[in-house]
């Protein structure tokens, strides 16, 4: 889907110049932008910064649990409270439960590792925090362009990144320009910072081009599926944080749930399923739906109403999966690189901190007259930072948990409580998620209960309340390297896992006029979670960005 | 040479892609944290004004000044910036945090019309939040101007507009002398995307602010919302065996006979 074929008809693209172009208006991207402006203000200089965001507005594509550690935000804005940052619900109580199909066993608080203790942290809607960050950024003079997707990386003759181009607008489903056609624009920068979140589509291209993960473990992911519920006041306890492990997931499948009591009688509830699962019949969406039926969980939702739904992949590999962070002309920050701390189930503070470190390195390079080279200071500053210390202590978490719930629990407890987080051993992620699927013939189908429409729901009614919308007349943004693979490989060997792992019913196998099953791609349902790009066994599905402004319109998710 | 001044009225509403729900208090539609954007019919109105200007410039018969106005809270300025980015020349924001019903908006627009003296006022046929379909008509009444509503096609002549209207029975063509009111329907045009350079340029275009007091208008609501509720859940359909069965059900279950 390269835009360059249109230049013969429509001429060269226009371009705009900035000191720094940032791809992604999430916590990392906005923090980098803010900090660059703060540094310029301190030094009495100017720096031009723009942020491209594919969502229709800042916050539209943000979905997260979430409990935030305010440490990094306090470094960005010491006066965040006075500025009205929406961190209004302090955590009042932590509970950790191991679930079986009927029972719940609570871990006594004294036994909980520090990573699961949230005193001093806040329950937040990350989307609202991001919207607030957007306002701070605009007040500092950052140019933010929501509704514009960065579709293409631009390289100089020396092979360094020199910027990005926005996608062409108004291309029909057949790939031909419609009446509304508008050529994309080029944005040139001294440095381009990529902050697309987990499994960014441009990040994937950068990894290939510069071999960024040549010396790190493969990144591994979870799929987080979340709902917001409004519940009666009687069963609502603001500040209560509950995490569970165990049922409904098998002990060999990494994952767990969160249940957070937010403000306004709302509950944020979700399940994270590790995408290294082996059984192609597993459906993360349906695991989440049946999780809600557990007696200890449904009690919180009784009499309540589901008001929002969303899903997003989570980069959970931690320190060992971090790629090389800087390359000629650019760098990665936030979940794009994979700074999330899976042991603490937190990534927003890591996104903010990593972005601040990157902003410092970028600002200093530009102040010294540099451009389009490697920001070596950034990875070095990261190694000296508290974020590195924190990720280093947690570096084995997912690897232990991937060996099974029992062993993982014991070893995590050992590492973090008895050994105080200082252990001499380092485990590695040996397998990328997409290589872990076993053939369907070796696995048992899972009998999921049907949705009841009150507590549990189907995919379509869920996508409905994510306010997902894509302009009708555009090519499908879920591309296949080889269109024959779904019918020749995915269906016979793996029983069509895409129809199960996608939380938005994008992929459907339907019987065609020839009596055979074919893959139908309902691209307009896509919530941009990136699971298909991660989990397709032959990596045949490549997610690229649709026209800017499309996708979910999450409220306070 | 004709030089037209076109005033386009726009409203910031809940985005059409959002699935609305009633708020927890049961008093209104939930708007907190919900995406808002320009009313789609107003986008069509803005596009039409710009197309009129472009046609005049291309035919070298004159030009048009496109002024876009919005009445509402501070965030209405985002809507105005979108219109400026599409190609409007300048913007007017009538700022108010109060509830503005169609009659109040029509009176505010009348005050703006008296200041700016446009040749045409273009409005969307209705806003997608209240579906009132009144403001354009009321404005025409207050100004005593001709109105052509539900426009699906507009042609401008010498101080005259010929408008094809979408009506229940089909289409109807009317002629109206300028100055006149036009309200847009869906088929009038397809609004253009605002390009990045135009979004940048829009920041420098003039945006004037007025308060309701500046315009001396009484905006007190005349309508009071008594109740707001979601539509009842759809019941499953039932198959009937015979006409007698149908009549019986209509009489005794649906109670409509």
Please report which residue ranges of A384-536 form alpha helices under DSSP H. 386-393, 397-401, 405-413, 459-464, 485, 491-494, 498-501, 531-535
Residues of chain B contacting A170 with CB distance shorter than 8 Å: 193
Name the domain boundary from A376, A393, A410: A393
Q: What is the mean pLDDT of each run of 10 residues along chain A (557 residues)?
A: 61 93 98 98 97 97 97 98 97 96 93 89 98 98 96 96 94 87 94 98 97 96 98 96 96 94 96 97 98 97 96 97 98 98 95 98 98 98 97 90 86 81 86 96 96 96 96 92 95 96 96 92 97 97 95 96
Residue B72's Cβ-count burial label (10 Å; 0-12, 13-18, 19+) is buried
Do both A505 and A375 map to the same domain? no
Distance CA B171, CA B175 (A): 14
d(CA B108, CA B110): 5
Instruction: Report the candidate in A226, A282, A279 with the shortest Cα–Cα distance to residue A257.
Output: A226
Q: Give the DSSP H or E segment for A52.
A: strand A49-53
Mutate to test the interface with A, among B13, B23, B196 (most CBs of A within 10 A): B196
Sorting pLDDT into bands at 50, 70 and 90, what band is B1? Answer: low
Mutate: best of A142, A181, A186, A469, partner B, most B CBs <10 A: A469
At residue A463's C-alpha, the angle toward residues A297 and A289, to 5°, is 25
User: Tell me, what's the pLDDT at A2?
Assistant: 47
What pLDDT is stored for residue A348 in this prediction?
Answer: 98
Structural contact between residues B90 and B207, judged by C-beta atoms closer than 8 angstroms: yes
User: Which residues 445-504 of A have a C-beta within 8 angstroms of B?
Assistant: 464-465, 467-469
**Final residue of a domain: which of A393, A411, A435?**
A393
pLDDT greater than 90 at residue B123: yes
Rounded Cα distance between A231 and A463, Å, is 21
- A370 and A460 both lie in a single domain: no
> Per the CB < 8 Å rule, is B34 touching A555?
yes
pLDDT at residue number A327: 98
**Candidate from A57, A125, A170 with C-beta closest to B35:** A57
Q: Work out how many domains chain A is built from and give that number.
A: 2
Phi, psi dihedral angles at A91 (to 5 degrees): -70, 130
CB contact under 8 A, B193 and A127: no
B-chain CB neighbours of A167 within 8 Å are none
Q: B34 contacts in A (CB within 8 Å)? A: 555
Same domain, A138 and A19: yes
Q: What is the mean pLDDT of residues B190-207?
A: 93
Closest C-alpha among A553, A179, A147, A10 to residue B194: A147
Q: Which residue of B has its CA nearest to A463?
A: B19
Q: Nearest chain B residue to A169 by CA: give it.
A: B193
DSSP state letter for A455: S
- Between chains, do A180 and B18 touch, taking CB under 8 Å as contact? no
Which residues of B are less than 8 Å from A125 in CB distance? 33
Q: Does residue A182 belong to the interface with chain B, where contact is any CB pair within 8 Å? A: yes
Q: What is the dihedral of CA A454, A289, A470, A491, to 10 degrees?
A: -130
Per-residue confidence (pLDDT) for residue A402, from 0 to 100: 84
Closest residue in B to A145 (Cα–Cα): B196
Same-domain check for residues A57 and A143: yes
Q: Which sign, positive or negative, has the C-alpha torsion B128, B134, B137, B142?
A: negative
φ/ψ of A177, rounded to 5, equals -65, 140
Tell if the CB–CB gap between B18 and A467 is shorter than 8 Å.
Answer: yes
Mind telling me how many Å the CA of B157 is from chain A's nearest CA?
26
Q: Report pLDDT for A1.
A: 42
Q: How far is CA B112 from CA A137, B115, B116, B142, B146, in A?
A: 34, 5, 6, 13, 18
A157 shares a domain with A36: yes
| Cα distance from N-terminal residue to C-terminal residue, chain B | 65
- Contact list in B for residue A143 (CB cut-off 8 A) is 200
Reading the block at residue A222, the tokens are: 């979870």
pLDDT score, position A412 = 86
A180 to chain B, minimum CA–CA distance in Å?
A: 6
Q: Is residue A224 in some structural domain? A: no
Indicate the residue among A393, A409, A429 that finishes a domain: A393
What's the gap between Cα A426 and its chain centre?
25
Alpha carbon distance B91, B207 (integer Å): 5
The ipTM (two decimal places) reads: 0.87
At A19-52, the pLDDT tens digits run 999 999 999 999 999 999 999 999 999 999 999 9
Q: What is the rounded distance in angstroms from the CA atom of residue A362 to the CA atom of residue A192?
A: 9
Instruction: For B31, name the nearest residue in chain A, comparing CA atoms only.
Output: A555
Domain that holds residue A28: 15-66+129-218+319-393
**Residues 203 through 232 of chain A touching chain B, CB cutoff 8 Å:** 230
Q: Which of residues 389-418 of A touch B (CB under 8 A)?
A: none
Q: What's the distance, CA A277 to chain centroid?
A: 18
Instruction: State whether A186 and A323 are in the same domain.
Output: yes
Tell me if the pTM is above 0.80.
yes
Using the Cα atoms of residue A292, residue A296, residue A300 and residue A302 in order, give the sign of their dihedral. positive
Residue B210 structure tokens? 């007025």
Say whether B17 and A170 touch across the interface (CB within 8 A). no
Q: Which of A16, A553, A555 sits opposite B17 (nearest CB)?
A: A553
Average pLDDT over chain B, rounded to an integer: 94
pLDDT, greater one: A473 or B66: B66
Residue A335 lies in a domain: yes
Secondary structure (3-state) at B171 = strand
Nearest to A265 among B15, B24, B193 (CB): B24
Q: Tell me how far apart the alpha carbons of residues A19 and A366 are, in angstroms, rounded to a whole number.
A: 8
Q: What is the CATH number of the domain that holds A385?
A: 3.50.50.60
Same domain, A134 and A42: yes
CA A222 to chain B, closest CA, distance in angstroms equals 27
* A140 and A31, same domain (yes or no): yes
List all residues 6 or more positions away from A154 whose beta carbon is below 8 Å from its beta carbon. Answer: A161, A162, A163, A164, A165, A186, A188
Confirm whether A124 is domain-assigned.
no
Instruction: Report the alpha-carbon angle B13-A34-A352, nearest 5.
Output: 95
What's the first-to-final CA gap in chain A, in angstroms? 31
Identify whether residues A352 and A466 lie together within a single domain. Answer: no
**H or E segment and range at residue A364:** helix A348-367
Adjacency order of strands within the sheet including A104-106: A104-106, A93-99, A240-246, A255-261, A266-274, A221-230, A305-315
Clarify whether residues A470 and A387 are in a common domain. Answer: no
Q: Is residue A153 part of a domain?
A: yes
Asked if residue A168 lies in contact with residue A510, where contact means CB atoms within 8 angstroms, the answer is: no
Q: How many alpha carbons fall within 13 Å on the CB side of residue B203?
A: 10
Residue A289 lies in a domain: no
Question: Model confidence over A224-260: pLDDT tens digits?
Answer: 999 999 999 999 999 999 999 999 999 889 999 999 9
How many Å lie between the alpha carbon of A162 and the closest alpha carbon of chain B?
18
Say if A440 falls within a structural domain.
no
Do residues B174 and B155 make contact, with C-beta atoms less than 8 angstroms apart? no
pLDDT for B29 beyond 70? yes
User: Pick from A345, A438, A358: which is nearest to A397 by CA?
Assistant: A345
Rounded to whole angstroms, the Cα distance separating A500 from A535 reads: 11
Residue A54, pLDDT score: 97
> Which residues does A263 contact at the CB level (< 8 Å), separation at least 6?
A88, A89, A123, A238
Q: Examine residue A279 and state whether it is found in any structural domain, yes or no.
A: no
- Which one of B15, B195, B200 has the shortest CB-CB distance to A182? B195
Side-chain half-sphere CA neighbours of B16 within 13 A: 14
Tokens found for residue B179: 């100055």
Distances (CA, A) of A217 to A189, A390, A470: 31, 18, 35
Residues of B with CB under 8 A from a CB of A: 15, 17-19, 21, 24, 32-35, 37, 190, 192-193, 195-197, 199-200
CATH code of the domain covering residue A522: 3.30.70.20
Phi, psi of A37 (to 5 degrees): -70, -35
Q: What is the pLDDT of residue A89?
A: 97
SS3 of A513-530: the string is: CCCCEEEEECHHHCCCCC
Residue at A261 is within a domain: no
- Note whether A42 contacts B: Cβ–Cβ < 8 A: no
The answer to whether B192 contacts A264, with C-beta atoms less than 8 Å apart, is no
Residue A127, chain B, CB below 8 Å: the answer is yes
Domain shared by A208 and A356, yes or no:
yes
Q: Looking at the partner chain, which of B33, B193, B200 has a beta carbon nearest the beta carbon of A555?
A: B33
Regarding whether A370 and A469 lie in a shared domain, the answer is no
Q: Which long-range contacts (CB under 8 A, 24 or more apart) does A438-442 make?
A: A438/A278, A438/A279, A438/A280, A439/A280, A439/A493, A439/A494, A440/A280, A440/A281, A440/A493, A440/A494, A440/A495
Query: What's chain B's Rg over C-alpha atoms?
Result: 21
């Amino acid at each position: 889907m390269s835009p360059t074929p249109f230049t013969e008809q429509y001429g060269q693209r226009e371009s705009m110049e900035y000191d720094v172009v940032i791809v992604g208006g999430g916590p990392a991207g906005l923090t980098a932008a803010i900090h660059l402006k703060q540094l310029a203000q301190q030094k009495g200089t100017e720096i031009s910064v723009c942020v491209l965001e594919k969502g229709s507005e800042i916050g539209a594509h943000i979905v997260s649990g979430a409990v935030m550690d305010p440490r990094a935000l306090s470094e960005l804005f010491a006066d965040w409270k006075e500025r009205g940052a929406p961190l209004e619900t302090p955590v009042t109580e932590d509970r950790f439960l191991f679930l079986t199909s009927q029972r719940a066993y609570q871990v006594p608080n004294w036994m909980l590792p520090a990573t699961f203790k949230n005193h001093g942290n806040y329950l937040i809607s990350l989307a609202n925090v991001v919207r607030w960050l957007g306002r701070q950024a605009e007040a500092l003079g950052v140019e933010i362009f929501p509704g514009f997707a960065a579709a293409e990386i631009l390289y100089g003759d020396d092979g360094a990144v020199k910027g990005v181009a926005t996608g062409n607008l108004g291309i029909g489903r057949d790939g031909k320009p419609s009446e509304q056609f508008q050529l994309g624009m080029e944005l040139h920068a001294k440095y381009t910072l990529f902050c697309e979140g987990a499994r960014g589509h441009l990040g994937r291209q950068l990894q290939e081009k510069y071999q960024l993960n040549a010396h790190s473990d493969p990144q591994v992911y979870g799929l987080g599926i979340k709902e917001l519920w409004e519940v009666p006041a009687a069963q609502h306890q603001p500040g209560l944080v509950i995490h569970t492990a165990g049922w409904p997931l098998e002990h060999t499948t990494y994952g767990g749930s969160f249940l957070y009591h937010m403000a306004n009688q709302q509950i944020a509830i979700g399940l994270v399923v590790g995408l290294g699962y082996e059984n192609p019949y597993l459906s993360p969406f349906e695991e989440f739906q049946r999780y809600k039926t557990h007696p200890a969980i449904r009690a919180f939702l009784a009499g309540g109403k589901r008001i929002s739904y969303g899903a997003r992949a989570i980069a959970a590999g931690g320190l060992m999966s971090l790629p090389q962070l800087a390359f000629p002309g650019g760098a990665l920050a936030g979940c794009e690189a994979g700074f999330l701390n899976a042991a603490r189930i937190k990534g927003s503070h890591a996104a903010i901190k990593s972005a601040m470190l990157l902003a410092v390195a970028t600002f200093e390079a530009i102040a010294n007259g540099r451009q389009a080279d490697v920001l070596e200071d950034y990875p070095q500053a990261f190694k000296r930072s508290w974020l590195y210390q924190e990720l280093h202590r947690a570096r084995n978490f997912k690897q232990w948990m991937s060996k099974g719930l029992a062993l993982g629990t014991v070893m995590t407890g050992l590492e973090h409580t008895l050994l105080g987080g200082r252990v001499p051993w380092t485990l590695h992620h040996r397998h990328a998620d997409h290589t872990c699927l076993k053939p369907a013939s070796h696995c048992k189908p899972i009998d999921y209960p049907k949705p009841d429409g009150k507590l549990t729901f189907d995919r379509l009614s869920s996508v409905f309340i994510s306010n997902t919308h894509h302009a009708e007349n555009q090519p499908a943004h879920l591309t296949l390297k080889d269109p024959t693979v779904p019918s020749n490989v995915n269906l016979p060997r793996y029983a069509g896992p895409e129809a199960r792992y996608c939380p938005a019913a994008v992929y459907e196998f339907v019987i065609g006029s020839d009596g055979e099953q074919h893959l139908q791609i309902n691209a307009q349902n896509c919530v941009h979670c990136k699971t298909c790009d991660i989990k397709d066994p032959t990596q045949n599905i490549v997610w690229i960005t649709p026209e800017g402004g499309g996708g979910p319109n999450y409220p306070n998710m | 040479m004709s030089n037209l001044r076109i005033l386009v009225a726009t409203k910031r509403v809940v985005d059409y892609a959002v699935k609305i729900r009633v708020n927890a208090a049961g008093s209104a539609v939930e708007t907190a944290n919900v995406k808002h954007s320009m009313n789609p019919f107003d986008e069509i109105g803005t596009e039409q004004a710009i197309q009129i200007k472009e046609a005049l410039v291309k035919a070298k018969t004159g030009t048009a000044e496109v002024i876009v106005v919005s009445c509402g809270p501070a965030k209405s300025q985002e809507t105005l910036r979108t219109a400026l980015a599409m190609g409007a020349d300048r913007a007017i924001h009538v700022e108010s945090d109060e509830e503005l019903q169609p009659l109040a908006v029509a009176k505010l627009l009348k005050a703006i019309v008296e200041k700016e003296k446009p040749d045409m006022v273009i409005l969307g046929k209705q806003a997608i939040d209240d579906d009132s379909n009144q403001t354009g008509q009321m404005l025409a009444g207050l100004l005593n101007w001709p109105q052509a509503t539900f426009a699906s096609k507009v042609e401008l002549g010498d101080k005259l507009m010929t408008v094809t209207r979408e009506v229940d029975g089909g289409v109807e063509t009317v002629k109206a002398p300028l100055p006149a009111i036009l309200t847009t329907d869906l088929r009038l045009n397809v609004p253009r995307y605002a390009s990045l350079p135009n979004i940048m340029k829009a920041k420098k275009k003039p945006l004037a602010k007025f308060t309701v007091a500046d315009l001396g208008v009484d905006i007190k609501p005349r309508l009071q919302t008594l109740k707001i509720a979601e539509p009842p859940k759809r019941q499953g359909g039932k198959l009937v065996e015979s006409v007698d069965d149908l009549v019986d059900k209509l009489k005794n279950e649906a109670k409509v006979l």
